[in-house]
Amino acid sequence: MNISADKNAVVLLSGGLDSATALAIAIDRGYHCHALSLDYGQRHRSELEAAQQVAQSMSVDLKTIQLDLRAFGGSALTDDIDVPEEEGEGIPVTYVPARNTIMLSLALAWAEVLEANDIFIGVNAVDYSGYPDCRPEFINAYEEMANLATKAAVVGNRLAIHTPLIDLSKADIIKQGTALGVDYALTVSCYQADTEGRACGVCDSCRIRAAGFEAAGIEDPTRYQTF
Amino acid sequence: MNISADKNAVVLLSGGLDSATALAIAIDRGYHCHALSLDYGQRHRSELEAAQQVAQSMSVDLKTIQLDLRAFGGSALTDDIDVPEEEGEGIPVTYVPARNTIMLSLALAWAEVLEANDIFIGVNAVDYSGYPDCRPEFINAYEEMANLATKAAVVGNRLAIHTPLIDLSKADIIKQGTALGVDYALTVSCYQADTEGRACGVCDSCRIRAAGFEAAGIEDPTRYQTF
């Protein structure tokens, strides 16, 4: 497509399947991408290494910011709370308070310094875990706020938050990423992956991912722990 | 007043005059206050120590979060850019990209864990430095966004961002804080304070502060560097 060559974009990259696909889409749209990863003290540390490998595989520079959200607690992803292994109701304990709000705010800071008007985030409102900060109405409100927050906004630059996955099923995300050459073997979605990045196969995130590969009719390259 | 006893609030505390006053007002309104400070790599390190002393003087616990915004650069407060010593036009180089957006996002995360529905920030749109993220329209948009971002929002709790100083002149802020017993000698507003917290007297922030004490008719307790 290359409609936006020379345009900088900041892409949030977690190391999971969704954000890797969002990065591939941003590159395909012709953006010069700057990947941003957050080391927030997550228990699944191999996610951070996966982000590094995904960025490298797409020849994109990655900046990893340290921000220890364990200081606040309140999530199974940062705290000593067990990750659930069965489907539950409501917002799960793996929700990290205000994580997307914080990550978008860091992306906004970097975008402003880079003079970039585009931020990509791989949120998805279809096959997701029920997190409030993955919903389209949240993203829209964030974009409104961001357009009042910065020096760039004051001089009339319009910042856009791109959510290329928001309406896609997990299967469609996987199909699109596969078509763009994403190597999903590099990505880690599991909330309790081991130090080698091997998935548990039983948490929310693993279940949604496995079902996505099956529905897409694409072989699942995920490396699972053997019990 | 004590209308809100038992209610938790998160108060952003920088160590400067404004946030110290905002904290005193939140306490006066009967909130159980949790002060939050951000170590973002600011060159004026004594600000952080001032925040500690201010919190202690009001018997409030302070949490200091480390987040190195030097990773992004782009500001005289974090970068090797000189702090201007004369009044300029437009948004000054001391503006830190997306700082208030980031700090409010951290406050939001902590508020959610504390089950607090109230955040206080000492922004001011009258005698201020022209930062976009101090304007009422930014704060309103942030509040809208925050009310879509969290688990608390999903279950119907309404989060409020309080800006008790937003319409006040610097003189009125100083009068109000003095009436509430704020010890302004503990606060550091200077962008290039020395390691002892002594102010330069010539930067934007110093000029606005000194003029505020004069207009209030209150003796200025600021400790200045001697040249």
The ipTM value here is 0.88
Chain B residues with CB under 8 Å of A112 CB are 74, 97-98
**Residue among A40, A113, A139 with most chain B CBs within 10 A, to mutate:** A113
Tell me if B222 is assigned to some domain. Answer: no
Q: Does A110 touch chain B (CB under 8 A)?
A: yes
Lowest mean per-residue pLDDT among A66-75, B22-31, B43-52: A66-75
**A73 → closest Cβ in B91, B105, B113:** B113
Helix, strand, coil percent content, chain B, rounded in steps of 5: 40, 10, 50
Is the per-residue pLDDT at B96 higher than 60? yes
pLDDT of B4 reads 47
Choice between A187 and B87, residue whose per-residue pLDDT is larger: A187
Query: Predicted confidence band at A137 (pLDDT cuts at 50, 70, 90)?
Result: very high
Q: Which residues contact B11 (CB under 8 A, 6 or more apart)?
A: B19, B22, B23, B26, B31, B33, B34, B35, B36, B60, B119, B120, B121
CA A219/CA B128 separation, integer angstroms: 58
Tell me if A125 is assigned to some domain. Answer: yes
Tell me if A128 is assigned to some domain. Answer: yes
Please state the rounded mean pLDDT for residues B75-90. 64
Is the per-residue pLDDT at B91 higher than 70? no
**Residue among A65, A66, A72 with most chain B CBs within 10 A, to mutate:** A72
Interchain CB distance below 8 Å, A148 and B154: no
Q: How far is B26 from chain A (nearest CA, A)?
A: 21
Q: Looking at residue A200, which CATH number applies to its domain?
A: 3.40.50.620
Query: Predicted confidence band at B43 (pLDDT cuts at 50, 70, 90)?
Result: confident
Please state the rounded mean pLDDT for residues B15-43. 94
Tell me if A224 is assigned to some domain. Answer: no
**A149 → closest Cβ in B65, B68, B133:** B133
Is the per-residue pLDDT at A5 higher than 50? no
Q: Does A135 touch chain B (CB under 8 A)?
A: yes
Nearest by Cα to B113 from A43, A99, A45: A99
Choice between A203 and A165, residue whose per-residue pLDDT is larger: A165
Tell me if B210 is assigned to some domain. Answer: yes
Is the per-residue pLDDT at B92 higher than 70? no
Query: Predicted confidence band at A196 (pLDDT cuts at 50, 70, 90)?
Result: confident
How high is the mean pLDDT of chain A? Answer: 88
Query: Predicted confidence band at A226 (pLDDT cuts at 50, 70, 90)?
Result: confident
Tell me if A69 is assigned to some domain. Answer: yes
Alpha helices in A75-227, H assignment, sequence order: 99-114, 136-149, 151-154, 170-179, 204-216
A119-130 pLDDT, tens digit per residue, is: 999 998 876 567
Tell me if A225 is assigned to some domain. Answer: no
Q: How far is B68 from chain A (nearest CA, A)?
A: 8
Is the per-residue pLDDT at A84 higher than 90? no
Interchain CB distance below 8 Å, A137 and B145: no
CA B98/CA B132 separation, integer angstroms: 9
How many Cβ atoms sit within 10 Å of the Cβ of residue B152? 21
Cβ contacts from A onto B, under 8 A: 131
Nearest chain A Cα to B91, which residue?
A: A151
pLDDT of A87 reads 62
Q: Does A120 touch chain B (CB under 8 A)?
A: no
Is the per-residue pLDDT at A192 higher than 90? no
Tell me if B221 is assigned to some domain. Answer: no
Chain B residues with CB under 8 Å of A69 CB are 109
Chain A residues with CB under 8 Å of B99 CB are 109
How many Cβ atoms sit within 10 Å of the Cβ of residue A71? 18
- Starting at the edge strand that comes first in sequence, how are the strands of the sheet with B118-120 ordered? B61-66, B32-39, B8-12, B118-120, B160-162
Nearest by Cα to A9 from A60, A48, A68: A60
Interchain CB distance below 8 Å, A151 and B100: no
Interchain CB distance below 8 Å, B95 and A151: yes
Give the total number of structural domains in chain B: 1
**B145 → closest Cβ in A112, A141, A150:** A141
Encoded amino acid at A43, one letter: R
**B113 → closest Cβ in A97, A105, A153:** A97
* Domain limits for position A188: 8-216
pLDDT of A76 reads 62
